[in-house]
Amino acid sequence: MKAHRLLDPAMALARRLRRRGPASGVLLLSFGGLGDTVLFSLLLPRFAELARPGEKVTVLLRADAARMAFVFPPGIEVIKVDAGQLRHPTIRYRLFDRLFAAHYRLVVSTDFLRHPDLDEAIAAACAAPETAAMEPRSWPKYDRRLAANRRLWHRLFDSGPPLQDKVLRWSRFADFLTGRSEPPPVVRLPAERLPAARTLDAPTVVVQPFSAVTAKQVRPDFLRRLLAEVPAGWRVLIAGHSSDMERNPDYRPLLELPGVAFEPAPFAELAGVLRAARLVVSVDTACMHLAAALGAPTLCLAGAGYHGEIVPYAAEIMPPNLRFLTVAMECAGCLGACRLPEVDGMYPCVAALDVESAATVLREMIGGTA
């Protein structure tokens, strides 16, 4: 047994013995990645309604996902947590002490997929008088412990089938918590939360070819064919972290094409470029969700692994500026647990994307904008 499974209850008891004063404030736990954080921001105002007058709303995010917190409404406090560091006892109990001392009135887990030693342990450390969560997704390795942790939650919501659009699931959960039914939001940030568009010196196409899961990436020759459709005199910016080119050197020759350059700006700065771009072409990654939410014309090159949960978006939330290029597969909705052999380093559903169809959509999306 891991040490923290013994230490967590002991430390929790010690904290409770020194608790004083009334509880106040709402803590929302959101352990998704960068793209999830963009989509969650659309529902955040609804979850913030759970705060009583004068109460503060805090969102706890993974440290990497917190880079996208600039899309949140003003007045939201953010706590960053490095999940890997929570294995270190000193860091773990320093965070738990901080959360306990905050004495939140209400703690809400907004995640369908939960981990008993991470987000659920954080919820337990808060010892809030009110807690709420969705029934968690089955995770065979942890199902027994997740079932035991049901005692952490005063209110549990059955959010429906395991495969369901993420935004629709959050919207139904918000309905449950607020007691008021509202339509799910279209993926578009409100005008007051849009960053200023950057002034660009030429019509620009932004391409994001990189993913943390390299099997979701289309090959460089696919992108080379698409870039051949970009009008002469336009610029192409290949967006990504500086390490992306180091990990994917076969994409580097694209930078030798006329008008093509690398754009390493972090998301908070890249957002202004995306708003000014004539088109954003992206694989299924956080940049695509951000571009769509910013209202940029966006073409997503998506595999079938997350059909039904993330991409393509459900019809109710689809913005008019977004197009998906994807293929139907019998195994769609595997959520990344692909059972088929990769094709040239790609998931088969990514390898099956038709470059000529993509070129046609690209021409349609930039047509008449020169």
Q: Which CATH superfamily is domain 202-366 in?
A: Glycogen Phosphorylase B; (3.40.50.2000)
CA dihedral 73, 274, 297, 246 (to 10 degrees): -120
Identify the pLDDT of residue 370: 35
168-204: pLDDT as tens digits: 999 999 999 999 999 999 999 999 999 999 999 999 9
Identify the pLDDT of residue 49: 98
- In CATH, what number does 3-178 get? 3.40.50.2000
| Burial classification of residue 266, based on how many CB atoms lie within 10 Å of its CB (0-12 exposed, 13-18 middle, 19 or more buried) | exposed
Is residue 6's pLDDT more than 50?
Answer: no
Is residue 13's pLDDT more than 70?
Answer: no
261-306: pLDDT as tens digits: 999 999 999 999 999 999 999 999 999 999 999 999 999 999 999 9
Is residue 18's pLDDT more than 80?
Answer: no
Sorted by where each begins, the domain ranges of the chain are: 3-178, 202-366
Dihedral sign for Cα atoms in the order 180, 44, 82, 162 = positive
Is residue 97's pLDDT more than 80?
Answer: yes
**Percent of the chain predicted with pLDDT > 90:** 91
207-219: pLDDT as tens digits: 999 999 999 999 9
Average pLDDT, the chain: 94
**Percent of the chain predicted with pLDDT > 70:** 94
Task: Tell me whether domains 3-178 and 202-366 share a fold.
Answer: yes
Q: How confident is the model at residue 19 (pLDDT cuts 50, 70, 90)?
A: low
Identify the pLDDT of residue 9: 62
Q: How confident is the model at residue 160 (pLDDT cuts 50, 70, 90)?
A: very high
Comparing 9-18, 128-137, 326-335, 345-354, the range with the smallest average pLDDT is 9-18
Extract long-range pairs of 65-70: CB within 8 Å, 24+ residues apart: 65/30, 65/32, 65/33, 65/34, 65/36, 65/37, 66/37, 67/34, 67/266, 67/267, 67/268, 68/34, 68/37, 68/38, 68/41, 68/267, 68/286, 68/290, 69/37, 70/195, 70/267, 70/268, 70/271
